[in-house]
Amino acid sequence: MNIIHKYLLKEVTSNVLMVMLALIAMFSFFDLIQELEALGQGNYGLGKILLFVLLSSPGHIYDVMPVAVLVGCMYSLSQFARHSELVVLRVCGLSILNIAALLLKIGLVFTLLTFLVGELVTPYSEKMAQRMRIKATDSVVAQEFRSGLWVKDGNNFINVEEVLPDATLLNINIYEFDKNSKLTKVRKAKGGQFESDFWKLKSVTETEFNAESIKINELAEAKWYSLLRPELLNVLLVAPEKMAAWNLYSYITHLNINKQKTTRYEVALWAKLIYPLACMVMVILALPFGFIQQRASGASAKIFIGIMLGVLYQILNRVFAHLGLLNDWSPLFSAIMPTILFLIAGLTMLYFVERR
């Protein structure tokens, strides 16, 4: 049995890796085509474009891993069926459940790999790629409004016109309010950099509003203590879906403290925890296809079906995420439903195959 186990593990793993490399190459090629439109902007040359594509590839690994597991398993099983190896395995005493348990070990390995790539590699490679691109093209971090970034910090409202890739803030406006929502002070600074536990503001103008007068102070430098941290600004560089779970949790905590809506980031956090498990679900979904119409359907047909199912899974993830935001569903429900639906489909097909 050990020989059989090693053979299955080797064949399935190699096919999954082959499919994953093919998908990564395809998406990296699309990235290259898209980035060539920015060739020549600032000092964004071909070398930096290739570096950007390379730094973006871990994000593609994270995205395509479940699809690669599904297609790789379906292709492997179709090859086993084509050479009657599945029949031989059944004759040797291996049931469908035994084969499923063996393949789930492979799914578990890719689940752990997906989680590690999503937590330890993708957030940093994406941040490096975006910072390099922004710096090379002489642009700034994209903001949600024409007036720049707006952040609520306790009773204060902060407006930053530009955020540079190294988290340097330019043209900062800080509006301080008292408990009665009355404006008490406005601070304007030309720039600010974070040092240990405070922001060091430069060229500061402070305007204090008292009951009887208005006082204006000009300062070369000033310390500003705020809950806003450089790591929280990562949300401007990296999409929530590609941020590390810990950074997402920190940002959600920041938004909760300031009584702001957190649904989008909670959905992204739950998805970060649940998405790697899709690799194991895809193994269960792929298994029945090895025993359905073994002779009638070839490997190419099953690869096509696997790709379509993978695309459907990604679409459902996006659809449920957006529907959850629109209808104010539970973030856990929005993140887990596509995986549960595919798990139910796989178990249902496996049940009928086993009874046949």
- Per-residue DSSP letter, 166: T
CA separation for the pair 295, 314 (Å, rounded): 30
Measured between alpha carbons, how far is 83 from 221 in angstroms, rounded to an integer?
76
Q: Residue 68, exposed/middle/buried by CB under 10 A (0-12, 13-18, 19+)?
A: buried
Domains of the chain by residue range: 2-137+262-355, 155-226
Q: Which of 57, 64, 67 is nearest to 30 (CA)?
A: 57
End-to-end CA distance of the chain: give it in Å, rounded: 25
What pLDDT is attached to residue 236? 66
Q: Which of 75, 83, 99 is nearest to 295 (CA)?
A: 83
Q: Which residue has the higher pLDDT, 94 or 119?
A: 119
13-17, 89-93, 349-353: which has the highest mean pLDDT? Answer: 13-17
Q: Evaluate if residue 243 carries a pLDDT over 70.
A: yes
Check residue 154 and give its pLDDT: 75
Over residues 269-293, mean pLDDT: 87
Residue 333 binned pLDDT confidence (cut-offs 50, 70, 90): very high
Instruction: Report which residue type is found at 33.
Output: I
Query: What SS3 class is residue 228?
Result: coil
- Residue 338 and residue 37: Cα distance in Å, rounded? 35
Q: Of 114-128, 241-255, 286-300, give the lowest mean pLDDT range.
A: 286-300
- What's the whole-number mean pLDDT along residues 130-141? 73
CATH no. for 155-226: 2.60.450.10
Average pLDDT for residues 306-329, to the nearest whole number?
Answer: 89
Report the mean per-residue pLDDT for the chain: 85
Residue by residue, DSSP assigns 170-216 as EEEEEEEE-TTS-EEEEEEEEEEEEETTEEEEEEEEEEEE-SS-EEE
Cα four-point dihedral sign 324, 115, 124, 37:
negative
Whole-number pLDDT of residue 332: 92
| Average pLDDT for 199-214 | 87
pLDDT at 293 over 60: no
Which of 19-28, 76-85, 119-128: highest mean pLDDT?
Answer: 19-28
Identify the pLDDT of residue 144.
55
Confidence of residue 277 (pLDDT cuts 50, 70, 90): very high
Residues 224-258: b if buried by 16+ CB within 10 A, e if exposed: bebebeebbbbbbbbebbbbbbebbebbbebbeee
